[in-house]
Chains A and B, each alone.
Chain A
Amino acid sequence: MFEALAGKVVSGVISLSMMLFSSYEGNQPYFSQIAVSMAGNRIFIKTELVDAFDNDFEDIFRSGKQIDVSFNITLKNGSNVISDDNFKHTVIYDPLTDLFTLIIEELDETIIIDSYQQLLKKIAKIEYTRNIDSAENIIIEIESYLSKIKFDSFGKKYDLMILWKLKKPKAKVTYGKDHEI
């Protein structure tokens, strides 16, 4: 609770600061509507990160460094945690071939993409599936964050969350018996 409050305070301060003292646009990511469906005991969750990589990410993705976009999906039934999974979408760029390698961990897929725009579309999509015992009143919480990267020329690590104005996109839905979201 304290962490959530502190997060809100920090994001509020940053938003106000940027509004008052800077013309820096950055990115304000959020999740599109979460689509949930059940097939037997398997739950399927689909969503997309919107407005997450439009500004200032091209240089970062093309740096050749491994860039991880992390996701956390928590499934709850009331206050009981059914599952808490972390997975990553990893981007690695090869400057000689001008190709992006995208590893989608939750699907265990590796995709080679030659277009930056295609990369942005693919990296933002989430398709998560899992077996669960009961589909009654499942609370789905999802959040995303960027990790720190270390450039070889500098000893220091840089927090990529700066490009999201230090605000983690989050979403929460409840999936009920009648499949209402």
Chain B
Amino acid sequence: MVKIMKYRISFRGSIIILFIVLYLPSLLLLNSYFVKKNSEINKVLQNIKLSESLSNLEFKTGEDSLKAKNLLNQFNENMAARSFIQHESQIYSAVFLFVLMLLSIFIFILIFYRISNPLKKLQNATSKIAKGDFSLHLEETGIKEIKQLTQSFNSMSRELDSTQKKLLQAEKDTMWKELSRILAHEIKNPLTPIQLSIQRLEEKYEIDPEKFYEVFPETVNIINHEVNNLKLLVSSFSNFAKNINPEFSEFNPRTMIDDILNSYQHNFEIKTSGENCTILFDRTHFYQIITNLVQNAIDASEKEDNILIEITKSNSNIIVSISDSGKGINKKDINKIFEPYFTKKKKGTGLGLALVKKLVDVNNANINVTSKEKEGSCFEIVIPNRSVLNQGK
């Protein structure tokens, strides 16, 4: 069987062949046209032998006059033909050049389009890749060089797509591992005191039944406390995983903050600017956000430290800020604090601030953090003013 080799002419090759096919025959045609016209003119000039022919006539007879007339006619005719051929050459060569020019422009545009169009597609595809869409596949057609470029691009796109998928899978695996580690750790922590309490109760019951009733309430209390901790842990994981839909209602944030702070034994300072300011927010979400941030502030601070809570109102926003003068957040960590499972606490799930961020987002608000190590942190919740929200609607 004869193996047919697929061979595509390169772009440079195409240009050279095009030049040879188009321009050389054109030049040859033009040249042959001028050679032909030149030979016609030469033929005319050869016919003009008036002086020689006239010198042979004696003009003595009517026949000589007729011959002279014919000679003159022939001379004039040849003069006319010479002049006419010249004009004709001028016109036809100009038309030929013009048509050649049009043809060249057409071919130039065609080639330009065949180069620029795939390049434009590549440019668009590159911008899409830059935006993270690696699933692109360009049609591998056109001139050889462009086809090769497109093939390389498609190969690169496939590689990037595959790498991205691997990275996502790796990230997912890491997340699951980290989650499992945290869950195991968090479940193990309360299990130890529960186990110890049960052992203690068994011991007392068998060895010293009298003392059993003395330690029973305290031990049961410990078990209850740790079971509650486990419940809290499960509920915080469950909350984070939930799809949260806010139920907006209008309320005074100051009132709710006061209620929350009542359950804590710490020094708080509350400042409010603007009387009777209200926000449009999900009440439960607001409660969760403030509770989390206040708890974090307490955890980061010493017992005697003051925690400042400010509510400020501007034309477009209401800002609730919670500032502590605790240990602050390390510069390296500040970007990660809202990531799930990131924690620096010994007994933290790493879901508190991640949940706060999620709740703030679903309520169309923003959260900002400023922190300086060993000086403290400030969390600001920027809530769009109710009137601005209404105007937006």
Contact = CB atoms under 8 A, between A and B. Distances in A.
Contacts of A35: none
Which 7 A/B pairs are nearest by Cβ-Cβ distance? Answer: A63-B80, A17-B98, A95-B72, A22-B94, A64-B73, A24-B90, A21-B94
A17 B77 contact: no
Interface in B52-80: 65, 68-69, 72-80
Contacts of B73: 63-64, 95
B43 interface: yes
Contacts of A162: 84, 87-88, 91
User: Interface size class for chain B?
Assistant: 20 to 34
A81 interface: no
Contacts of A93: 76
A21 B93 contact: yes
Contact of A22 (B65, B68, B90, B99): B90
Contacts of B175: none
Contacts of A24: 87, 90-91, 94
A154 B40 contact: yes
B90 A158 contact: no
A23 B69 CA distance: 36
Nearest to A10: B95
10 contacts: A14-B91, A20-B97, A20-B98, A56-B83, A59-B79, A63-B79, A95-B72, A151-B80, A152-B77, A158-B84
A154 B76 contact: no
A112 B73 CA distance: 18
Contacts of B80: 59-60, 62-63, 65, 151
A88 B47 CA distance: 31
Interface of A: 13-14, 16-18, 20-24, 26, 56, 59-60, 62-65, 93-96, 151-154, 158, 160, 162-163, 165-166
Contacts of B83: 56, 59-60
Interface of B: 40, 43-44, 47, 65, 68-69, 72-85, 87-88, 90-91, 93-95, 97-99, 101
Contact of B43 (A152, A153, A158): A153
A1 B94 CA distance: 27
B101 A14 contact: no
By secondary structure, the B interface counts as helix
A14 B54 CA distance: 42
Given A13-B98, A17-B98, A95-B72, A64 B87 contact: no
Contact of A153 (B72, B78, B93): B78
Contact of A17 (B68, B88, B94): B94
A60 B88 CA distance: 13
B369 to A, nearest CB: 72
Contacts of A158: 81, 84-85, 88
Given A13-B99, A26-B87, A153-B43, A20 B94 contact: yes
B84 A165 contact: no
Given A13-B98, A24-B90, A65 B77 contact: yes
A65 B78 CA distance: 11
Contacts of B82: 59
A165 to B, nearest CB: 7
A24 B99 CA distance: 18
Contact of A59 (B74, B84, B99): B84
A64 B95 CA distance: 30
Given A24-B87, A154-B43, A162-B87, 8 more contacts: A17-B97, A56-B83, A62-B79, A95-B72, A96-B72, A152-B77, A158-B84, A163-B84
